[in-house]
């Protein structure tokens, strides 16, 4: 229970990686506030956390809205008294060829993935500093942000590249407050969002989803896509004592798809 007495906030926690990360943090002792735009899903996650014996709080929030971000942090601190760990996980995408990306696609994706991630990180950092410093911020980026050509679309890749860049800058400027800032860059991960994107891709290519899944596995050196728990394991490590002197780093969890 290495995270006992720690309070974590996980965004986009209703399903997929966010849910898995929340459960893993709670299993390691953390009390976890979970937020999502889908209230029924995030309430299910919160219930599962309480069944593990940890306190939890479900929050309805759209991280593309600054007022929601502020309320999300206030509710977390009001409930638990403080905050120690942020996992900035909320994100969206869809499959689009580069020639099909329109302004509304760009704005929608960047509103959540870039703007939402930045202002959530900034707001949590303000709280950590007010508390006297110390804390962990873990941004969920993507190997798409490092140029992986199999990305769902160019706007998504750009938004995740922004998350990587802001991780570097935040780490350099928040280190004096003993706040560690790192990013996890997942590769192909089996989630509902990824399944939807794969279905869109398969339809556009005129092939079956099963065919695309086989092609995906063939491209991965280790031979399999991530489960959400693979990302959760890295998040728990970065939240723990073993990562106390690690900051400004991006960690690929991708089976070897991108090796830098």
**What is the DSSP-derived secondary structure letter of residue 116?**
I
Q: Do the beta carbons of residue 15 and residue 189 sit within 8 Å?
A: no
Res 27: pLDDT: 96
**What is the DSSP-derived secondary structure letter of residue 128?**
H
For residue 224, CA distances in Å to 71, 136, 151, 188, 196 come to: 39, 30, 17, 9, 18
User: pTM of the entire structure?
Assistant: 0.93
Q: Does residue 216 register a pLDDT over 90?
A: no
Q: Which one from 148, 156, 168, 177 is the annotated catalytic residue?
A: 156
- Rounded to whole angstroms, the Cα distance separating 14 from 21 reads 11
pLDDT of 171-207, one tens digit each?
A: 999 999 999 999 999 998 887 777 777 787 777 778 8
Active site residue 156: yes
Q: Which of 49-53, 66-70, 213-217 has the lowest mean pLDDT?
A: 213-217
Return the CATH fold of 7-189+227-253.
Rossmann fold (3.40.50)
Average pLDDT over residues 166-170: 98
For residue 146, CA distances in Å to 56, 134, 152, 185 come to: 34, 29, 13, 9
pLDDT of 230-242, one tens digit each?
A: 999 999 999 999 9
**Which residue has better confidence, 10 or 196?**
10
């Amino acid at each position: 229970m290495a995270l006992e007495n720690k309070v974590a906030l996980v965004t986009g926690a209703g399903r997929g990686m966010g849910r898995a990360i929340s459960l893993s943090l709670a299993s390691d002792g953390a009390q976890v506030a979970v937020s999502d735009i889908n209230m029924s899903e995030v309430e299910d996650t919160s219930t599962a956390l309480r069944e593990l014996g940890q306190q939890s709080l479900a929050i309805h929030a759209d991280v593309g809205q600054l007022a929601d971000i502020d309320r999300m942090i206030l509710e977390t601190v009001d409930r638990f008294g403080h905050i120690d760990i942020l996992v900035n996980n909320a994100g969206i995408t869809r499959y689009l060829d580069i020639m099909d990306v329109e302004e509304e696609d760009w704005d929608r994706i960047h509103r959540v993935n870039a703007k939402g991630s930045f202002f959530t990180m900034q707001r949590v950092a303000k709280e950590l500093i007010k508390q006297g410093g110390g804390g962990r911020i873990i941004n969920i980026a993507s190997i798409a942000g490092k140029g992986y050509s199999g990305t769902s679309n160019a706007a998504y890749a750009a938004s995740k590249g922004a998350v990587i860049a802001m991780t570097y800058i935040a780490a350099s400027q928040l280190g004096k407050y003993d706040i560690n800032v790192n990013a996890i860059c997942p590769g192909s991960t089996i989630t509902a969002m990824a399944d939807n994107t794969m279905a869109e891709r398969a339809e556009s290519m005129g092939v079956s989803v099963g065919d695309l899944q086989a092609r995906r596995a063939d491209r991965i050196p280790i031979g399999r896509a991530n489960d959400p728990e693979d990302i959760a394991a890295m998040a728990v490590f970065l939240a723990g004592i073993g990562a106390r002197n690690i900051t400004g780093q991006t960690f690929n969890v991708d089976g070897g798809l991108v090796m830098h």
